[in-house]
Chain A
Amino acid sequence: MKARIDFRSILALVAILAVLLPILATDTPWPTEPRDYLAEHAEDETGAKNIVSAIYLGYRVFDTMGETIVLLVAVLGTIGILTKVESLVGDTQQTIGTVSAFSLSAEKRRSNRLRTHLLEVVTGKVGPIVLLFGFYVMLYGHLSPGGGFQGGVIIASGIVFLALGNQRGETSHLSNSEKLVHIETIAFLLLVIVSSSGLITGSPFFGNPLDHTAVPVGYIVVLNAVIGLKVGTSMGFLCIAMMGGTD
């Protein structure tokens, strides 16, 4: 496919350059006040050593909840559009080339050229390790680099590996899209319960119920785990649905 660089493209390029050049040429120093405040207070106020976790699960947790809702809407929209495609196609023989080449169920695949033994063996063996690492990143997000979203994405790749690595149709429960949806729904319910658990002790919505106990960081660990489960199952479900599903 040949690129079509015509007059309009050049014009658009010049326009976007004119917008971006002031950003490039600015020499305003980056402000240090927020960094200094966070360095001094973040650990006391939220309990998390990882300041990034302290921000997105402490100071800015409403935004995180909105983000998970955006993820939910994206999954819903994608699945809605994809299932509409399936019903338009009707018979499974005519699904588009990429789907039929990488499809998870063997009868939908047009050719097995891309499903080499290398792919199946390596992904099947690496999958559980990736899942374990994902849970590590998710549960230690308050201490080390990582957190719910990062661990969730790693878990999703582990799910995809397991789905790709199952040979001759032995489906694991994790590549069953229906079960993934159940886990995601339960995770969202848990998120709502955890977020309103502070109401019992008189703190506001998303208030930390463990605020005056010895382990205020427990709240962030639970939130990380719930968000990680939700993100992992959402992304894994998206990928599996795009590969044609297994059921």
Chain B
Amino acid sequence: MVDRLLLLILFLIGFLTIVAKRNMIKKIFGLNIINAAVVILFVLEGSRIGMDAPISNGEPQQFVDPLPQALMLTAIVIGVCITALSLALAVHLYRIGGTFDIDKVKERLHDGL
């Protein structure tokens, strides 16, 4: 229960970073923190039914569920893609607005248009 609570706190930290911070780079950090929290939650929950790593050695053994691990592999790669793309967009907005502050970028875009 404590581990789930800690992961919830991690998720909320990421969410709060996205909602409350104005710096776009910090918002992207928040996305990454949320991604990490979800990944850890899946791997943790899948590991509750066994003790061994999911590598078979011919003997019957109680290993952890490999399904969420394979799923989270995908999630990690997609997370990296999202991070790269959003960082590139942040750089693009920085070039247009001259700042990483999302509100100021918005104002300057409105002034310019």
Q: Does A81 contact B (CB under 8 A)?
A: yes
Whether a CB of chain A sits under 8 angstroms from the CB of B108 is no
Q: A1-B23, A32-B49 are in contact. Are A77 and B88 (CB under 8 A)?
A: yes
Q: Is residue B113 contacting chain A, with contact meaning CB distance below 8 A?
A: no
B58's closest neighbor in chain A, by CB? A43
A43 to B54, CA, bound (A): 11
Q: Does A16 contact B (CB under 8 A)?
A: yes
A50 pairs with B15, CB closer than 8 A = no
Name B17-60 residues within 8 Å CB distance of A: 19-23, 26, 45-46, 48-50, 53-57, 60
Contact, CB under 8 Å: B87 / A39: no
User: Are B21 and A3 interface neighbours, CB within 8 A?
Assistant: yes
Contact check, A85 vs B92: say whether CB atoms are below 8 A apart.
yes
A52 to B73: give the CA distance in the assembly, Å.
Answer: 9
Give chain B nearest CB distance to A21 CB in angstroms.
8
Contact B19 A81 (CB under 8 A): no
For B23, the chain A residues whose CB sits under 8 A away are 1
Q: Map CB proximity to B onto A50-77 as digits: 1 under 8 Å, 0 otherwise.
A: 1110111000100110010011011101
Interface of chain B, main secondary structure: helix
Within 8 Å by CB of B12, from A17, A75, A235, A238, lies: A17
**A55 lies within 8 A of B77 (CB):** no
Q: Scan residues 84-113 of chain B and give those whose CB is less than 8 A from a CB of chain A.
A: 84-85, 87-89, 91-92, 94-96, 101
Stretch at the interface among A5-13, A169-177, A188-196, A197-205: A5-13
Closest to B22 in A: A1
Task: List A contacts of B65 (CB < 8 A).
Answer: 30, 32, 34-35
Interface pair A39/B91, CB less than 8 Å apart: no
CB neighbours of B8 from chain A (8 A): 20, 24
How many A residues, CB 8 Å from partner?
55
- A82 contacts the other chain (Cβ, under 8 Å)? yes
Chain A min CB distance to B85 (Å): 5
A242 to B86, CA, bound (A): 12
A163 within 8 A of B: no
Residues of A within 8 A of B55 (CB): 49-51, 143-145
Using a CB-CB cutoff of 8 Å, which residues 35-55 of chain A contact chain B?
A: 35, 38-39, 42-43, 49-52, 54-55
Closest to B34 in A: A16
Q: How many Å from the CB of A243 to the closest CB on chain B? A: 12
Contact A67 B77 (CB under 8 A): yes
**With an 8 A cutoff between CB atoms, is A168 at the interface?**
no
CB distance from B55 to the nearest CB of A (A): 5
Instruction: Please pick, from A9, A32, A67, the residue contacting B74 in the complex, using a CB distance under 8 A.
Output: A67
A-B CB contact pairs (8 Å), 6 listed: A35-B66, A55-B67, A82-B88, A85-B91, A242-B84, A242-B88
B residues with CB within 8 A of A = 4-5, 8, 11-12, 15-16, 19-23, 26, 45-46, 48-50, 53-57, 60-61, 63-67, 69-70, 73-74, 76-78, 80-82, 84-85, 87-89, 91-92, 94-96, 101
Q: A52-B54, A64-B74 known; 10 other A-B pairs, CB under 8 Å?
A: A9-B20, A16-B15, A34-B65, A39-B63, A50-B54, A67-B77, A70-B81, A149-B73, A149-B76, A235-B80
The 3 closest A-B pairs by CB, nearest first: A74-B81, A55-B70, A51-B54
